[in-house]
Structure 1
Amino acid sequence: MAVCKYYLVDSGYPPRKGYISPYKGERYHLPDFQLGRSPVSPEDIFNYTHSSLRSVIERAFGVWKKKWKIIKTMPSYPLDRQFKIVTATMTLHNFIRKNTTRDRHFTEFDDNPIFVLEDELEDVQNEHEGSQTISQRE
């Protein structure tokens, strides 16, 4: 049995085999669902699930970058050394996650189950402010 691999991507990626992107023109960001009605249509449900999974992935990267600052500012090491740094820090990340009951970095992100990237939150806020401005003009 062949193992299929898929990449969870945002809507900026072109449709391509193995890439799973959200439906365009539909609600996507978690705050959109919190501020409005629950997902009902198949597209809404898919986008909600996609966004929820992306949030889990972003939390993992958030912990990883917070715990190992070198990841955020990767010096211009040769590519093979960068690969080793990524591999070593992600291995430690997974080891700590599996074997530690309380870690301050994991706790910070775990306490926020609907983690949203700051730029994503700004996008949602800008969209809501724009729609309020339009309704005020009408």
Structure 2
Amino acid sequence: MFLYIIGHNTRMRCVANMFQHLTETISRHFRKVLRAVHSYAKHLIKLDPNVDGLLEHLQVNKYWPWFEKCVGAIDGTRVSARPPSNVTQAYRSHKSNFTYVHAGWEGSANDSRVLDKAISDSKHGFPWPPTGSYYLVDSGFPIGTSFLPSHKSTRYHAQEFRSSNRQPSTKKELYNYRHSSLRMVIEQSFGMLKAHFPILNLMPIFKRTRQHYVIVVCYAFHNFLRMNNRGDELFRTWASTWVKGTSSSGLPSHNTEASSSTAT
């Protein structure tokens, strides 16, 4: 019943009717399971200690050795909450697993502000990458030894390079194009997450703490599915968000379209 609620965003009254139990019974057991899975989430949402750079399948001319020590990407996504909307900042490995989730910020919060809070207090358990390794971040994040941002005031998003007359023409543009292409794993992963758990698109009217728990639990289940069912239909569907149409040099081809290759 718990999985049915978060996987279909079905209201408890409907679930109570479906399974012929009192709504109070459904609610009570939902809370019990939510707390239990949330307490276990730290074992599913974590940085792989054996990874200190690009995974083997990404060690191609387009990214290697330019992003040799990249262990993941950082970005924020909005989750509909009542009230207010939450910003969830997520840190992703290129296995499309989430390695850290920092939930609970209002939708107007700046990404760099959320990151600063996450790394400034040890109680948040920020997963620092191994020495010499780093996360990819956009130009809105601070520069640091553990964060590699894109160049400011230069074309960045892969979509901006799609036509044949808009290919990268400078070193900065080429760097930004490849940086953007590699970071798209996190956009793909947010799509997978919200497709699996539509409760994140329209959160029920829970207490604020319970909403945060639901968010973290959805990330944990996402990782569990990635580890145990990589052939999942939704994973295959959302693999199409990767950018294809690039040559072996990493430059966009003349007919670049939305991709169908996977980030894993």
TM-score, normalized by the shorter chain, greater than 0.5: yes
Identity score, percent: 31
| Among candidates 43, 56, 69, match of residue 185 of structure 2 | 56
| Among candidates 151, 161, 166, match of residue 23 of structure 1 | 151
Q: Aligned partner of 2:229: which letter?
A: T
Mapped contact 2:136–2:179 kept (Cα < 8 A): no
In 2, the alpha carbon distance for the partners of 1:39 and 1:45 equals 5
Structure 1 unmatched runs, 5+: 116-138
SS in 2 for 1:111: helix
Q: Aligned partner of 1:110: which letter?
A: A
Do residues 83 (structure 1) and 202 (structure 2) align?
Answer: no
Q: Deviations over 1:85-104 (max 9, x none)?
A: 12211111111112114212
In 2, the alpha carbon distance for the partners of 1:68 and 1:2 equals 28
Between 1:22-31 and 1:84-93, the stretch displaced more is: 22-31
**Cα gap change, 1:42/1:71 in structure 2, threshold over 3 Å: closer, same or farther?**
same
Q: Aligned partner of 1:25: which letter?
A: S
**Cα gap change, 1:2/1:57 in structure 2, threshold over 3 Å: closer, same or farther?**
closer
In 1, the alpha carbon distance for the partners of 2:234 and 2:159 equals 23
Choose 1 or 2 for highest CA Rg.
2
Q: Deviations over 1:46-75 (max 9, x none)?
A: 211331133110110011011101111123
**In the alignment, what sits opposite 2:198?**
69
Structure 2 unmatched runs, 5+: 1-127, 245-264
Do residues 102 (structure 1) and 231 (structure 2) align?
Answer: yes
**In the alignment, what sits opposite 2:170?**
41
**In the alignment, what sits opposite 1:114?**
243
Mapped contact 2:156–2:176 kept (Cα < 8 A): yes
TM-score normalised to the size of structure 2?
0.36
Mapped contact 2:192–2:238 kept (Cα < 8 A): yes
Alpha-carbon RMSD across the aligned residues, in angstroms, is 3.0
TM-score normalised to the size of structure 1?
0.63
Number of residue pairs matched? 113
Q: Aligned partner of 1:93: which letter?
A: H
**Cα gap change, 1:38/1:90 in structure 2, threshold over 3 Å: closer, same or farther?**
same
